[in-house]
């Protein structure tokens, strides 16, 4: 974050998109739900440390996009059990 302005830099935002597997050049056309889905799907296969980094990337994007939905999803996905439950329900319903 640019400390003097309290804003995120374009490089930080682009890095957050890439970390979640999203091409930054496509960011303007993506809905928040897609970004949240990318975050959730990656959480299933990574270490606790990487989960923290993914969470920080999602937090960065929530701030950059001024998205209440993304910010709320952070508090809704705190435990691995909740994430697994979401994944199972999504898989079963498809």
Q: List, for residues 50-86, the tens digit of each pLDDT value.
A: 988 999 999 999 999 999 999 988 876 665 556 676 7
The answer to whether the beta carbons of residues 40 and 87 sit under 8 Å apart is yes
pTM: 0.76
DSSP per position, 4-52:
TTTB--HHHHHHHHHHTT--GGGGGG--HHHHHHHHHHHHTTS-HHHHH
Q: List, for residues 26-42, the tens digit of each pLDDT value.
A: 999 999 999 999 998 88
* DSSP code for 70: H
Q: In the chain, where are the structural domains located?
A: 10-93
């Amino acid at each position: 974050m640019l400390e003097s302005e309290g804003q995120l830099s374009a490089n930080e935002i682009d890095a957050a998109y890439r970390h979640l597997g999203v091409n930054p050049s496509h960011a303007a056309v993506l809905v928040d739900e897609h970004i949240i889905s990318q975050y959730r799907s990656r959480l299933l296969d990574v270490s606790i440390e990487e989960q923290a980094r993914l969470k920080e990337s999602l937090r960065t994007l929530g701030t950059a996009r001024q998205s209440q939905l993304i910010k709320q999803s952070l508090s809704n996905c705190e435990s691995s059990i909740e994430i697994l439950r979401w994944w199972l329900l999504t898989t079963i319903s498809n």
